[in-house]
Structure 1
Amino acid sequence: MIVDAGTVIGDRYELVTRLGEGGYGEVWKGFDQSLDRHVAVKFVRPEKFLTPEERKEAEQRFRREARVTARLRHPGVPVVYDVGTLNGSHFLVMELVEGYRIDHLIDAHNPLPVAWAAAIAAQVCAVLTVAHAQSLIHRDLKPVNLILCADGTVKVLDFGIVAMLDAPSATKITRAGHGVGTYFYMPSEQAITGKADARSDLYALGCVLHELLAGERVFQSAIAQAEMARHYSEPPPPLRSLRPDVPTGIEQLVLSLLAKNPADRPASAAEVYERLLPHVVALPPLPGTTVVAPFPDPGRMYAAVVERIAETALVGPPVPASSPAPTPRLSKGDLVAAKGRAEELALAGRLSQAVEILEEAVRAGEALVGERQLVIALRMDLANARFAARDYVAALDDFDELLPVLTEMLGADHQAVLGCRYNQTLSLVALGRDEDALDKMAALLADVQAAVGEHDVLALELRREAAELMARMGDHQGARAYLHALLPDMVAVLGTDNPETEHVRALLGNLDRLSD
């Protein structure tokens, strides 16, 4: 889209200066006329191939993802202020971050001091820890998306942008020269399947940390295709072979982050943080990049007090338990109305509100006598709403507790039971419990095929999910065999040009290229 300086969007944000352009769109420095402050306005290009109906669905997805991203509150993430659409292009209004891009920092200080590399990566880990706890995956972590501010703090940009741009009808498969994410920082399982999880972000972090310390990408090559292929097949070079002053502990950490099999990577960003923190010592000045903090520095004052409070909480007397919230008194009619209202909110993407309403309704319903079926229906809606809101830990607990009761009431082959089992399995996938997920998926697939036939759409979806999971676990041959059997059935049921069929064909093509 074309916009000019002076353009006012959303009736309040005046565009001031165009800051840059990237693969997703362009960024402007803007001015919020209502609150008298500068902001950043990020325009995100719509997908050109979308039909008008798909454009509408894409806008709904964009707003839904923006809401999820806006819930991510951390000093290392710019605050999302607003979201909107202008002439078919979506835009985000965000906190304006000023500082030094990490890719520029690498160029200027090639290589970076070890302590600074550890400090930057540890701060990114702090952001990933809170993001992954909310099941929010960055998907495109790289030096361009990291900013070092003058006080030495790091901001992680573009959380949720890749998810916002995913096709509304099917997850995109990454191909050479296409797709979302950036190949040079992308693990093989994400490049093959088009899907990412917390372990994918950790791989990208390993690529960034290697580049901070070595001054070049892990498999840097003048030929992009060759560099991409090496992420699939070659072990990364040990950092100490490129830079002997890198501590052994950091070298081992980077090698574990860059493991081909996601299961061999560190368990969490918090673990990586703990392994990096001892190396954040005696940081030398970075002239022209960081400045001496004022004394007393308000941010450090605040953090120092919070740290002492945390220490006191660990050793102090026990805090009396607070009284539980009183159970609201609601009638059956109130519960039915709450269920309908929660469904409306969920369809509108207002999932946090839907969950709050359903939590209150479930508490109230359990106090009523003779309304077991209604309470079970409310609990099912709550589990599915938590799943949609990406609270996979709570959703999984809900499904584990609910499914035996739901199965007893409706029968094992009821559509609602099968749907909850499917979401239960996808929760396991999202939480990285791959082996448990594959076992659940196999059992569910057998039951779905027995109940509705092997060519039912849900059965086809389960077969595709199973193949993707096998590919992410490194069983490329098994996934290929699975997909070769699946593709003719997808064509027969959905048609050759259906997005899901194209997705399977692209996934199979990626796996076939690996075996060449």
Structure 2
Amino acid sequence: MRRSLGRYELTRELGRGGMGVVWEAYDPGHGRHVAVKLIAPRGYGSELTERRFLREARLTSRLSHPGIPAVYDHGSHEGELYLVMELVPGRGLDATLDDEGTLPVDRAAGIARSVADVLAYAHGQGVVHRDLKPSNLMITPSGEVKVLDFGVAAALEPRPGETRFTAANATPGTVIYMAPEQAVGRTVPASDLYSLGCVLYELLAGRPPFTEGSQFMLYHQHANEPVPPLAGHRHGIPAGLRKLVEGLLEKNPEDRPGSAVEVRALLSAWVPDTAATTLTHPRLAEIAALRLSGRPARALEEYAELMAAPGLGHVDFLAARVGAALCTGALGRTREALDELKSVLAEQRSLLGPEDPAVLDTRYEIAVLLVRLGERHAAAELLRRLAEDEARDMPVGDPRRGRSHGLLKRLDRMA
């Protein structure tokens, strides 16, 4: 069994599909566990494919969104292309569908809205996913949705004008969710919206709109056959949601909703706002006290147990991730703790807003870790902005209000 890829120590296989094999690996250079996706270019066209892949990897590594796993590294090693990414806990949406079948309307709409939010960001950066499907959507233990494999399909698909019908690894699993225009090599942002429509249809109906026949027949159905009505699979789906799915599955890209931003807004009508009613879990204060008492290793274990427990709210899950990262830092793994806090911060900002006290707390802890790593200039820049935000957003009398200013003064004295 393969055990290494350059400096990465491959520990266990996480899964495989038409495009490659994904491994969990350890990166000793950064002291963190990562996901490594290996893609053999032999079936795709060798040198040309490698150039496309590396170009797309460079582009997608610049994407920064809570719903997109970070890309840390990419390259070619002994004839195989590889991507090194953030290791995301959870399970694929395809596995969830296998276990649960159709999903409640609010949950299906919530998942689709999360994907639309990611697409809105990516399309704004000029990036189209091209291969949206349940196996490329990960549901984390806290219920977040992560969209995987940005850029991979773009690197491996034929250029405009080249047929896809005989592509070496064009699998039925991909064709089932593919927009009609992609069959002839044309891909636009609205192609992702069509694929999202197929996914949402499956969440509500228990199956995608078209599933039977050869790859060629599936292409033909997407391009020409009317979409089977959702009402034929399930009663009680709101009329507005049915209309949205029908709009996403229009044959002509110009007839679909105008953007992922529009789709995200429309889906909000069927997604309850739970953030305001989320309560703080009592175990958070207990474990924090354990950490502050000088027992970070034990506290880290208890944070892991809490995050694995069912029913933990999204806000509390993020708070537990912050606490676990602080434990990691206290145990000497400072860079790993810093990377985790930066990841959590992006999600907290998206969920709670930039002025929330939890967001300000995480920013402060990031500055502390930067100081510990000797990156004083970066820490000072962060603290100057944070001191202004704390003075504006924290109430008078809050003991945290002057902490950034105080740490900044200590840094100045050290310099």
Scaled by the length of structure 1, the TM-score of the pair is 0.53
**Partner Cα distance (2:235, 2:109) in 1:** 16
Instruction: Give the secondary-structure state (helix, strand or coil) at the position aligned to 1:199.
Output: helix
Question: Match of 1:14, as an amino acid?
Answer: E
Q: Structure 1 residues 237 and 290 mapped into 2: Cα distance closer, same or farther (>3 Å)?
A: farther
Q: How many pairs are equivalent?
A: 294
Does 2:244 align with 1:253?
yes
Aligned twin of 1:36: 31
Instruction: Give the secondary-structure state (helix, strand or coil) at the position aligned to 1:21.
Output: strand
Deviation of 1:60 (Å): 2.8
Aligned twin of 2:292: none
2:57 to 57, 62, 66: 66
Does 2:262 align with 1:262?
no
Question: Match of 1:175, as an amino acid?
Answer: F
Does 2:228 align with 1:231?
no
Question: Match of 2:36, as an amino acid?
Answer: V
Instruction: Give the secondary-structure state (helix, strand or coil) at the position aligned to 2:212.
Output: coil
1:212 to 193, 203, 207: 203
Please say if residues 165 and 215 of structure 2, whose CA atoms lie closer than 8 Å, have aligned partners that are also in contact.
no
Please say if residues 38 and 83 of structure 2, whose CA atoms lie closer than 8 Å, have aligned partners that are also in contact.
yes
Instruction: Give the secondary-structure state (helix, strand or coil) at the position aligned to 1:47.
Output: helix
**Partner Cα distance (1:238, 1:307) in 2:** 42
**Partner Cα distance (1:171, 1:237) in 2:** 30
Question: Match of 1:111, as an amino acid?
Answer: T
Please say if residues 118 and 147 of structure 2, whose CA atoms lie closer than 8 Å, have aligned partners that are also in contact.
yes
**Partner Cα distance (1:210, 1:218) in 2:** 7
Question: Match of 1:173, as an amino acid?
Answer: T
**Partner Cα distance (1:214, 1:63) in 2:** 38
Aligned twin of 1:22: 17
Question: Match of 1:189, as an amino acid?
Answer: E
**Partner Cα distance (2:163, 2:80) in 1:** 23
Provide, for residues 200-249 of structure 1, a one-character-per-residue CA deviation record: whole Å limited to 9, x for no partner. 11100000000000001102326655444221221112223321211111
Question: Match of 1:6, as an amino acid?
Answer: R
Aligned twin of 1:408: none
Instruction: Give the secondary-structure state (helix, strand or coil) at the position aligned to 1:82.
Output: strand
Aligned twin of 1:188: 180
Instruction: Give the secondary-structure state (helix, strand or coil) at the position aligned to 2:176.
Output: helix
**Partner Cα distance (1:124, 1:80) in 2:** 18
**Partner Cα distance (1:153, 1:255) in 2:** 26
**Partner Cα distance (2:269, 2:104) in 1:** 14
Provide, for residues 165-207 of structure 1, a one-character-per-residue CA deviation record: whole Å limited to 9, x for no partner. 245x87642116756572111121111x212110111100000
Matches within 5 A, 1:50-449: 50=45, 55-166=46-157, 172-175=162-165, 180=170, 182-191=174-183, 193-221=184-212, 225-281=216-272, 291-293=311-313, 295=316, 297-298=318-319, 302-303=349-350, 305-306=352-353
Please say if residues 115 and 282 of structure 1, whose CA atoms lie closer than 8 Å, have aligned partners that are also in contact.
no
Provide, for residues 350-393 of structure 1, a one-character-per-residue CA deviation record: whole Å limited to 9, x for no partner. xxxxxxxxxxxxxxxxxxxxxxxxxxxxxxxxxxxxxxxxxxxx
Provide, for residues 281-308 of structure 1, a one-character-per-residue CA deviation record: whole Å limited to 9, x for no partner. 288xxxx996413748435754454266
Provide, for residues 442-492 of structure 1, a one-character-per-residue CA deviation record: whole Å limited to 9, x for no partner. xxxxxxxxxxxxxxxxxxxxxxxxxxxxxxxxxxxxxxxxxxxxxxxxxxx
**Partner Cα distance (1:218, 1:161) in 2:** 25
Please say if residues 73 and 83 of structure 2, whose CA atoms lie closer than 8 Å, have aligned partners that are also in contact.
yes
Cα RMSD after superposing both structures: 2.5
Q: Structure 1 residues 45 and 119 mapped into 2: Cα distance closer, same or farther (>3 Å)?
A: same
Q: Which has the larger radius of gyration?
A: 1
Question: Match of 1:74, as an amino acid?
Answer: H
**Partner Cα distance (1:101, 1:48) in 2:** 26
Gap runs ≥5 in structure 1: 310-516
Aligned twin of 2:3: 6
**Partner Cα distance (1:308, 1:214) in 2:** 40
Please say if residues 2 and 10 of structure 2, whose CA atoms lie closer than 8 Å, have aligned partners that are also in contact.
yes
**Partner Cα distance (1:45, 1:292) in 2:** 40
Provide, for residues 334-365 of structure 1, a one-character-per-residue CA deviation record: whole Å limited to 9, x for no partner. xxxxxxxxxxxxxxxxxxxxxxxxxxxxxxxx
Deviation of 1:145 (Å): 0.5
**Partner Cα distance (2:151, 2:169) in 1:** 15
Question: Match of 1:190, as an amino acid?
Answer: Q
**Partner Cα distance (1:100, 1:71) in 2:** 25
Provide, for residues 85-126 of structure 1, a one-character-per-residue CA deviation record: whole Å limited to 9, x for no partner. 111111111001121211111121111111110010000001
Deviation of 1:40 (Å): 0.4
Q: Structure 1 residues 60 and 295 mapped into 2: Cα distance closer, same or farther (>3 Å)?
A: closer
**Partner Cα distance (1:305, 1:43) in 2:** 36
Q: Structure 1 residues 187 and 291 mapped into 2: Cα distance closer, same or farther (>3 Å)?
A: same
Aligned twin of 1:343: none
Please say if residues 137 and 201 of structure 1, whose CA atoms lie closer than 8 Å, have aligned partners that are also in contact.
yes
Scaled by the length of structure 2, the TM-score of the pair is 0.65
**Partner Cα distance (1:97, 1:24) in 2:** 19
Gap runs ≥5 in structure 2: 275-307, 320-343, 357-415
**Partner Cα distance (2:233, 2:160) in 1:** 41
Q: Structure 1 residues 253 and 34 mapped into 2: Cα distance closer, same or farther (>3 Å)?
A: same
